[in-house]
Amino acid sequence: MLAHTQDAVVVVDKLTYAGSLLSLAGVDEARVSFIKADIGDRDAMQAAFTQHQPAAVVNFAAETHVDRSIDGPAPFIDTNIVGTFVLLETALAMNRARPEPERAAFRFLHVSTDEVYGSLGDDGLFREDTPYAPNSPYAASKASADHLVRAYFHTYGLPTIITNCSNNYGPYQFPEKLIPLMILNALDGRALPIYGDGGNVRDWLHVDDHCAGVLTALQRGLPGEKYNIGGNSERTNLQVIDVLCEALESLVPAATNPAVKDRGSYAALRTFVPDRPGHDRRYAIDASKIARELGWHPGHNFESGLRATVEWYVQHREWCAAVQSGRYQRERLGLS
Ligand SMILES: NC(=O)c1ccc[n+]([C@@H]2O[C@H](COP(=O)([O-])OP(=O)(O)OC[C@H]3O[C@@H](n4cnc5c(N)ncnc54)[C@H](O)[C@@H]3O)[C@@H](O)[C@H]2O)c1
């Protein structure tokens, strides 16, 4: 947003375990305001909307880790469903009080996931009209929010748009997600836990491509529509880990890393562990609608993007330590 527009941005974040102000360090403070608040807090949202009168709302805020949703779904219901409901209500009340043409120009863009569509076999792709079939509490909470967002368009005429994207990777990702978790564990000489047989397939999307897709949908998408955003980069978890280990070998050779020297290589740290309950086998996105109708295409090649991501984590060990800050030790979650 800051790089591609002249707009001012108001960031609302509860700063849960997954959020950190360190991720905003260095942004242009003249164009960015920060409000520490829960999107489910009606009074706080009303105050924020009244003060800033946003021309658009982009709802990224969520509980996002599937394993945590298995251990404790309650915050997923509170934030992903009720929080989205509160944002919709607040946006609707604000927008109804506006005159045209501002009212029609308002956008509520809801960022969702491909996980709402369930699991694929060896063939096929998720399209925007693929029926919803969420399998984890996380996916079910996102699916529920998507339905509310859709309903606010059809029932109240709020100009909403939904985007459903695939697995993101890139800098600043909290180290509970597969790629940063593996990089940091490997550098520390800890096991690289591979769920099940490692054959689960995800379509990997660079975070910059995702952000560009969200901005494109915000600027050119049609209210009431949904757009899938994917990276055309299907890989098994094992393939991802192998590329990541190769990148690490060239950046910080295992032979020179005291934590790994005895094991001989980063790949030797790979360890098969019990699978995640209800683990979806394959996700794959058909992103032809956003390409055809809005002109968005992913720009990153997965292998070079992953290599750059590995390099970023190698160079930002302090950020990684600070955001974990004793609250998360990269322990196994989601087995209950
Ligand atoms: N990361 C992915 O691979 C991926 C894939 C598809 C969709 N998404 C969606 O993209 C969005 C962002 O995902 P992410 O990976 O950056 O998530 P994340 O878990 O890394 O970060 C979530 C952020 O939301 C904030 N937050 C959580 N609850 C809040 C609340 N009640 N009020 C205000 N702020 C709150 C957290 O503090 C944190 O800053 C989510 O909606 C997620 O469902 C992510």
Q: What is the CATH number for 114?
A: 3.40.50.720
DSSP 146-202: HHHHHHHHHHH---EEEEEE-EEESTT--TTSHHHHHHHHHHTT--EEEETTS--EE
Judge if the beta carbon of residue 240 lies within 6 A of ligand 1.
no
In a domain, 70, yes or no: yes
In a domain, 272, yes or no: no
Residue-level pLDDT at 335: 82
Q: What is the rounded average pLDDT of the residues 317-326?
A: 88
Residue-level pLDDT at 153: 98
Nearest CA, atom 41, ligand 1: 60
Q: How far, in Å, CA of 272 to CA of 193, rounded? A: 6
Mutation to probe ligand 1, out of 64, 77, 138 (largest number of atoms < 8 A from CB):
64
Judge if the beta carbon of residue 117 lies within 6 A of ligand 1.
no
In a domain, 163, yes or no: yes
What average pLDDT is seen over the chain?
Answer: 96
Predicted confidence band at 330 (pLDDT cuts at 50, 70, 90)? confident
Q: Are strands 201-206 and 234-236 parallel, antiparallel or unpaired?
A: antiparallel
Range of the domain at 227: 9-172+204-233+280-302
Total domains present in the chain: 1
Task: Write out the two tokens for 58.
Answer: 């982009």
Q: What is the rounded average pLDDT of the residues 23-31?
A: 93
Per-residue model confidence as pLDDT tens digits over 94-136: 999 999 999 999 999 999 999 999 999 999 999 999 999 999 9
Judge if the beta carbon of residue 17 lies within 6 A of ligand 1.
no
* pLDDT over 80 (residue 328): no
Residue-level pLDDT at 325: 80
Judge if the beta carbon of residue 142 lies within 6 A of ligand 1.
yes
In a domain, 129, yes or no: yes
Per-residue model confidence as pLDDT tens digits over 271-309: 999 888 989 899 999 999 999 999 999 999 999 999 999
Q: What is the rounded average pLDDT of the residues 209-222?
A: 98
Q: What is the rounded average pLDDT of the residues 146-150?
A: 98
Judge if the beta carbon of residue 74 lies within 6 A of ligand 1.
no
* pLDDT over 80 (residue 44): yes
Q: What is the rounded average pLDDT of the residues 135-140?
A: 97
* pLDDT over 90 (residue 198): yes
What atom of ligand 1 comes closest to residue 167's alpha carbon? 3
Quote the pTM value.
0.97
Mutation to probe ligand 1, out of 15, 17, 60 (largest number of atoms < 8 A from CB):
60
Q: How far, in Å, CA of 27 to CA of 166, rounded? A: 26
Distance between Cα 246 and ligand 1 center (Å): 29
Query: Looking at the annotation, which residues are catalytic?
Result: 114-115, 138
What atom of ligand 1 comes closest to residue 173's alpha carbon? 20
Q: How far, in Å, CA of 201 to CA of 280, rounded? A: 9
* pLDDT over 80 (residue 326): no
Give the closest residue to 92 by CA, choosing from 128, 57, 130.
57
Sequence-ordered alpha helix ranges (H) in 97-136: 102-105
In a domain, 275, yes or no: no
Judge if the beta carbon of residue 13 lies within 6 A of ligand 1.
yes
In a domain, 149, yes or no: yes
In a domain, 134, yes or no: yes
- % of the chain at pLDDT higher than 90: 94
Supply the angle between the helices 302-315 and 317-324 in degrees, to the nearest 10.
Answer: 80
Residue with tokens 């995800």: 202
Q: How far, in Å, CA of 232 to CA of 209, rounded? A: 11
* pLDDT over 80 (residue 27): yes
Residue-level pLDDT at 1: 93
Residue-level pLDDT at 244: 97
* pLDDT over 80 (residue 319): yes
Residue-level pLDDT at 145: 98
What atom of ligand 1 comes closest to residue 169's alpha carbon? 3
In a domain, 117, yes or no: yes
Q: Are 141 and 77 in contact (CB under 8 A)?
A: yes
Q: What is the rounded average pLDDT of the residues 260-270?
A: 95
